Amino acid sequence: MKITINEDVVLEGQQFHPESFPHVIAMQPSAATLEDVRAWIQTEKSNLLDRLALHGTLLFRGFPLAGADDFDAFIRAFDLDSFTYEESLSNAVRINKTDLVFTANEAPPEVSIFLHHEMAQTPLFPSRLFFYCEQAPTTDGQTPLCRSDVLLDQIEQELPEFVEKCVHNGVRYSNIMPGHDDPESGQGRSWRSTLGVTSKSEAESFLDKRGYRYEWLANEVLRATTAAMPAVRTLQDGRRVFFNQLIAAFRGWSVAPNDSRKAICFGDDSDIPTDAMQRVSDLADDLSFDVAWQTGDVALVDNFLVMHGRRPFSGKRCVLVSLVSDDGSRLAA
């Protein structure tokens, strides 16, 4: 069956950078089946991925998807290498629905998840993200998206010394991991789950091999600090991006009780100025587009180019995620 697509849809309040962002691919109402959609994706895959690289996000709307299994089939039609949650060093608590699909984050609805590139605070990160809205929230619960190349241009104009230190020194992240999963926290994945270990000695060996600094706190809590990591990266096409977790860490990461140390610092251990991070956060907010989910929507996000987050919401909200690991060469060190 022929599928009719409308790519002239403009969302209310949509920004252009200068390309449409996100770029909407709306399927016209028809009797097309999921198998028809899969065949269309397989035919259009190259064009779709080219458009993703240009726009940063593709929003598929009106496609016949009903649940995690359909979303799984939609993803598999792209024939991309998966990035499993188990192999990641993400500290968010998630629940697997299929081999490829899991919940976006189990943090309570009143918790904001601030802008970030997925897993940019770790040595292992996906190249692309699929989001699927299985159930839209009653109110709010949008997913903010921000183009990191556009953001970096603006930061560089206002805060050139900050960007220079990011480039030359990199950044370090300090993370608090509980001994057991805490679903009430946006960062509640335990060190056992995050590192894939069962004992403190195994955790220490894992961290030593990857250049982390760490210390054990009360109640089996682990504080781990990364080696210096890049905060500005260059894509193969020459675009520079603010690829990091600085905003999320600055605005939302918890530190240990009575611990004055911050979650982030420059790679030389010097402080990142609070006023600079506040301005970076404000600029990102100004550039962000909030995707107001409709049930059945799929968003394909270029993780190298676009940051994402989650607004608080009311009512039941179910957004599922799948990660892709291919094309890692698009980032230069």
Three-class SS of residue 102? strand
Examine the pLDDT at 187 and tell me if it is beyond 80.
no
Examine the pLDDT at 150 and tell me if it is beyond 90.
yes
Model confidence pTM above 0.75? yes
Decide if 205 contacts 191 (C-beta within 8 A): no
Give the tens place of pLDDT for each residue, 46-57: 999 999 999 999
Contacts of 53 (CB under 8 A, 6+ apart): 237, 302, 305
Examine the pLDDT at 329 and tell me if it is beyond 60.
no
Distance of CA 209 to the CA centre of its chain: 25
- pLDDT tier at 185, thresholds 50, 70, 90: low
pLDDT at 333: 47
Residue whose structure tokens are 């010097």 = 270
| Comparison of pLDDT for 71 and 255, the residue scoring more | 71
Q: Take residue 232 and report the two structure tokens written for it.
A: 């500005």
Q: Measure the CA dihedral 61/150/264/301, to 10°.
A: 20
Least trusted range by pLDDT, from 34-43, 81-90, 149-158: 81-90
Three-class SS of residue 4? coil
pLDDT at 200: 95
pLDDT at 169: 97
pLDDT at 130: 97
Examine the pLDDT at 105 and tell me if it is beyond 80.
no
Question: What number of other Cβ atoms are within 10 A of residue 42's Cβ?
Answer: 11
pLDDT at 13: 74
Least trusted range by pLDDT, from 23-32, 154-163, 304-313: 23-32
Examine the pLDDT at 327 and tell me if it is beyond 60.
no
- pLDDT tier at 261, thresholds 50, 70, 90: confident
Which among 236, 306, 319, 252 is positioned nearest to 19, based on CA atoms?
A: 306
Examine the pLDDT at 258 and tell me if it is beyond 60.
no
Residue range 64-87: mean pLDDT, rounded: 90
Give the tens place of pLDDT for each residue, 311-322: 999 989 999 999
Least trusted range by pLDDT, from 96-110, 182-196, 208-222, 290-304: 182-196
Q: Take residue 267 and report the two structure tokens written for it.
A: 């790679």
- pLDDT tier at 7, thresholds 50, 70, 90: confident
pLDDT at 325: 85
